[in-house]
Structure 1
């Protein structure tokens, strides 16, 4: 398994776990969206919360070059740590939803 396949596997492990979550208040659920060709990976939450339509993206990752970009994390999960636990080195994880200035203060890659 090459590095990109390993990173994709780590991302999909996290997303599948999150996509399996069932909500008590939403008539609908999570959808796993995977674009392997362009290396985009996300979970969408779709459904109804009483009379309010829900269409959210709680988790979104991209593989850009040889790095995993965490583009969105609206969960309580430390997904960067979860990636590390699966063998993705810190130097290859970018917290993309932070500005480049703030990324410099993270323990992860800046770009």
Structure 2
């Protein structure tokens, strides 16, 4: 199981590092990697005129033998990238989809 978790961590970090390009003139990207709690995030942080920017772009947790995507506010499919890296789609959950609608994901994906 430790090897699986280490592999999951490596894959998640590699994917999230690719999001550094999302920065613009108003905001920077902050990557937050918490290996102890197995929580990984990409945040937009900055200012637009007098308005504070502090928004989650991606939030992924590793719980047990599963990768849980809590938030994906990008246009890219993180699930697809994880599957391409060798992680079974059965071990990936999209928790930003209401549980009532989770059954429809099997049809779509």
TM-score, normalised with respect to structure 1: 0.88
Structure with greater helix share of residues: 2
Q: CA deviation at 1:88?
A: 1.0
Segments of 4+ moved more than 6 angstroms: none
Q: How does 1:46-57 map to 2 (within 5 A)?
A: 46-57=45-56
1:70–1:94 contact (8 Å) kept in structure 2: yes
TM-score, normalised with respect to structure 2: 0.90
1:47–1:55 contact (8 Å) kept in structure 2: yes
Report the number of matched residues.
106
Whether 1:68 and 2:67 are equivalent positions in the alignment is yes
**Aligned partners of 1:100 and 1:56: how far apart in 2?**
24
| Structure 1 residues not aligned, in runs of 5+ | none
**RMSD of aligned residue pairs (Cα, Å):** 1.6
